[in-house]
Amino acid sequence: MTQTLLFTILLFAAAICEGQRGNITNESFPHPSLELRVPCQPSPVRIQGETTLYYELHLTNRSAQAIRLHKIEVLSPPNVLSVYQPDALRNRLSMTDHRSDTSEVISLVPDRPAILYVELVLKGKPLPSELNHRISYAVNSPTGLQNGAMQGGVVKPETHAPLILGPPLRGGPWAAVYNPFWKRGHRRVLYSKNGTERIPGRFAIDFIKLNKDGQQTVGDQDSIVHWYGYDQPVLAVADGTISSVRNDFSESVTLSKHPAYPAESATGNYISLQIAPDRYVFYEHLKPGGIQVKPGQMVKKGTVIARVGFTGQTTGPHLHLHVADNDSPLGAEGVPFVFDHFRLLGEYEDFTTFGKSRWQPPSPQQNTDIHQERPGPNQVIQFN
């Protein structure tokens, strides 16, 4: 018996027990079969002063009829750590049946997978030894809609601290562009390689340089040489060995003439730097002729290894940075990292103003001297 089959049977039994506790007595009530799994073990990372766990809960309805979701709770028995009601589920669920994006009813259609993207902020609580999930739902029965609940998707978070990196760039201001809620942001883009789905950019950040007024360019925005970040030196974030280099992409001198690239070429020119066993730092969209290292070369933290460029799948010159567990841009799982030190200048709460106006400054109570943290979404920072 496979683990998946066994897990589904256990969930079926759990649904019966929960249904009985919910006073569902009709013996013909069709208890659903719902497969729950967390394929990638979450690891803690500190963001904006809080320990946070990023992970994905995969849900597949193996029943013959739709399951209506009421809420999903994240548990660390006996505590409830987070509750996702319908509005939150719409923002966090990715479903192949997109009707649930706008419908008042969120339904899991039979045999169509869904993914709940979780960024669990612990709010001062200790790292849980185990996470579980309670699904509250409704299904049709001969007597009408019947409510029930089931639990599953048990996972034990990693306990080791994330990698601590030095600055990948000099000075600033640099906007750390990402948002876990963007539906096509790095956080939510899965790639299938060799039959396995992964999220290499789970913790990816796009660094875009700004001036003091929040502008990305001086003069003509279409010309890449007018971008503040273009041709800026890119630094080794730790001692390590260059694992792989790609340097065969040419560069359009204007944004308007930049060709479209498929996912396989999204990186553009890139460097992979191995800094620990199964830990590779990816630097992407690098300038042609700006890469100054070769595979097998050992480098020291702070060494200039490349220049910010405009190659691959990109809308403007910037540095894409992420860390993964394998030397493959698309065939690896993204892992968390923090920077040893940076200064917080502010953030873009409304990203529609990005590149058009200055960022919002920190509040007087907010710490701006940040150590061993990951920048928050769309924060503007200064490296030493």
pLDDT digits (tens, 9 = 90+) for 62-106: 988 899 999 999 999 899 999 999 999 999 999 865 454 455 678
Question: How many C-beta atoms lie closer than 10 Å to residue 12's C-beta?
Answer: 16
Q: What is the mean pLDDT of the chain?
A: 90
Say what the pLDDT of residue 18 is: 40
Residue 17: pLDDT band by 50, 70, 90 thresholds? very low
Is 50 exceeded by the pLDDT of residue 160? yes
Residue 354: pLDDT band by 50, 70, 90 thresholds? very high
The DSSP H or E segment spanning 262 is none
What is the rounded CA–CA span in Å between residue 185 and residue 364? 31
Residue 140: pLDDT band by 50, 70, 90 thresholds? confident
Q: What is the pTM of this model?
A: 0.89
The least confident of 104-108, 302-306, 351-355 is 104-108
Say what the pLDDT of residue 175 is: 98
Say what the pLDDT of residue 4 is: 43
Decide if 162 contacts 335 (C-beta within 8 A): yes
Domains and CATH numbers, the chain: 3-155 (2.60.40), 163-382 (2.70.70.10)
Say what the pLDDT of residue 102 is: 52
What is the rounded CA–CA span in Å between residue 356 and residue 345? 17
Is 80 exceeded by the pLDDT of residue 210? yes
Hey, CA dihedral for 212, 214, 219, 225, is it positive or negative? Answer: positive
Decide if 106 contacts 89 (C-beta within 8 A): yes
Residue 2 is encoded by which pair of tokens? 């496979």
Say what the pLDDT of residue 97 is: 56
Decide if 323 contacts 240 (C-beta within 8 A): no
Say what the pLDDT of residue 142 is: 74
Residue 36 is encoded by which pair of tokens? 């729950």
- Closest CA relative to residue 311, chosen from 192, 230, 228, 208: 230
Residue 214, SS3? coil
Residue 136, SS3? strand
pLDDT digits (tens, 9 = 90+) for 324-333: 999 999 999 9
- Closest CA relative to residue 189, chosen from 12, 178, 287: 178
What is the rounded CA–CA span in Å between residue 282 and residue 271? 6
What is the rounded CA–CA span in Å between residue 227 and residue 316? 8
Is 70 exceeded by the pLDDT of residue 149? yes
Say what the pLDDT of residue 9 is: 36
Say what the pLDDT of residue 219 is: 86
Residue 247, SS3? coil
Which alpha helices (H) appear in 61-115, and where do they start and end?
A: 86-92
Q: What's the first-to-final CA gap in the chain, in angstroms?
A: 56
Which alpha helices (H) appear in 22-150, and where do they start and end?
A: 86-92
Question: How many C-beta atoms lie closer than 10 Å to residue 4's C-beta?
Answer: 12
Say what the pLDDT of residue 361 is: 97
Query: Rg of the Cα trace of the chain?
Result: 23
Is 80 exceeded by the pLDDT of residue 378? yes
Is 50 exceeded by the pLDDT of residue 28? no
